[in-house]
Structure 1
C-alpha cells in the first residue's frame, strides 16, 4: 500500500523538470492542473464522454487555506456560471450533456503564502461511451543507447546518465479511445511499477524503460533494474478509480553491450513527461521536480529495504 501511495504521489508530481543549473525547491504557492489539461495554443480541446465527466485535479503546493472551483458552461450558445465541489482529487461535472463546453477554474490560497493561484482547463462533452475494460496493444521501439534524464538530489533537479532505453507505445483499444483524455498511466516492469517510466499523458505518448550503463553519481535517483530480458506492461486509471485498465504484456531486451550507439547525436530523453499547461514555468517545473525527488527517494529506499 505504501509503495502504491508513493507511486501515485510521483504521478501527480510529474512536471517539466527544471534545468540542471536551477535549485530544486518547491514554490510557496502553485496553481493546480487538471487531467485532462487543455492547452491554450492547441487547436482542439480535450473531449470526455458524457458518462465520464469527471476531472482529476493535481495540487503542487502545500497546505491550502481556501479553495473554490467554478465552471463556465456553454450550452446551445448560452453561457452559465456554476460552482462545483472538489471531491478530494477529482471534480465531477454534474449535469454535463453532450455538446457542452466546460471551462473549469480552481482558485486557492496557501497557508504559508499571501499569494493566490488559479488553474483552469476546458473540455468538450462527447457522447456516452462504454466503460473500457482493456487498454490496448503495447509496442516497443528498438533499444537505443542514449542519455536519459533522471532526478538528481545532489543540488540540480535533474541530470543525465548513459543508458540503454526502450520507448513503449500503446495503440488504444477502440472502446478505450473515447476515454483517452482522462487516463493516467503507469508502467510495470516484471510486475513492479517502474517509477521513472510514469506518464500522465495519453497512450500515444511513449513511456521510457531504461537500464543505466554506468554507475550513477551519488545524487542520481536511478532504478536498480538490471540488464537482461524484462516483461513490460502499461496500465491506466480513470479519475477517482483504483481499478487498472491494462495493456497486454510484452518482452524487451536491455543490454548495454549489444546495441550500437546512433550515428546522429540524440538529445537526452526524459522518462517523465508533463501534462501541465504552465502559466509560470519556473515555479511549476521546480515544484514538480521537488515532489518527484521526494517520492523517488522514498520509493527506492523502500524497495531496497525489502530486497
Structure 2
C-alpha cells in the first residue's frame, strides 16, 4: 500500500476528517482552510509522541489513538480554547492494516468527544512516532496564560492527581492489572479527558493556568516563573483517588501526584472571590495552596514547614 492510498483509506475517509464548522476545507489540498469568527484568535499547539518514550513498544493501537489526541488537545484546555481540528504526522515502521484500523478508531473516539476534526498531516516510514498539531479558537485577549498569577490568589487543580503515573507500572507489566482499581488507573492513562469545558469556564476568572503534563511541581514552576511569584502547595490538601491509594499506597501516591506527570488536568490560580461560583456551578475545583510573593514552588507539610523534594517532574534531556 502506498502513502496516498494509506491516507485515503485510513484517515481521509474517517468521519472526523469531514469539513464543517470552523473547518472550511480539510484533507485533500496542500493546506486546510479554517474560518475563525471575527474578534477571535487561533490557539495552536504541537506534541510529539515516540515509541519507548511516551508509550511502550507493544500497546493497543485503539488506546494509543485516543491517548495521542487527548494529550495534545489538553493544551487547548489549558488556554481556555474551543477546539477546531488537528493534523497528524505519523511515522510507521510498516503498513499493518489491522493496526491502522484500530489506531484510527481510537482517534475517531477521542475526536468525537472533543469536537475535533482531522484536517491534514503526513505519513512517513521509520520508528513509530506521531506528531499532532491542534487548533482552537477563543475571544481575543481571553486566553488563559501562565503569567497572571498574583500574591493572594488560590492555587487549584481540576481533579485527583497521580492516577496516570500510578498506572505506569501496570502499563509496563510490572504490576498486575486484574483489579477494579487498576482498571480505573489504566483508564486515566490511556483515555485522559481534556478539561476543555473547565478551561472555558475559567476564562475571565483564573489569573493563570496550564495543563499538568510533566508533574505538578514542574508545571507549577512554569506559572511561578512566568508570573514572578511563589506557589505554595499544601501537601495535606492534594486530592487522590481511592484507586490510586489502594494500588500505590499513600507515600507512592504523593510521589506520583507531585512528579509523576501525565495527569492532563488543569492547574490554575484564582482570586478567592471566584471560588464560590465555580463550586456552585459544579466544577471540580480543588484548592491545594496559594500564591505568595517570592519565586519558585514550595511544598508545605501540615505545620507549614517546607518539605524537601528531590524529584520534581519529567525532563526529556535530564541526565
TM exceeds 0.5? no
TM-score (norm 1): 0.31
Higher relative contact order (CA 8 A, sep 6+): 1
Which structure has more helix as a fraction of its residues? 2
TM-score (norm 2): 0.30
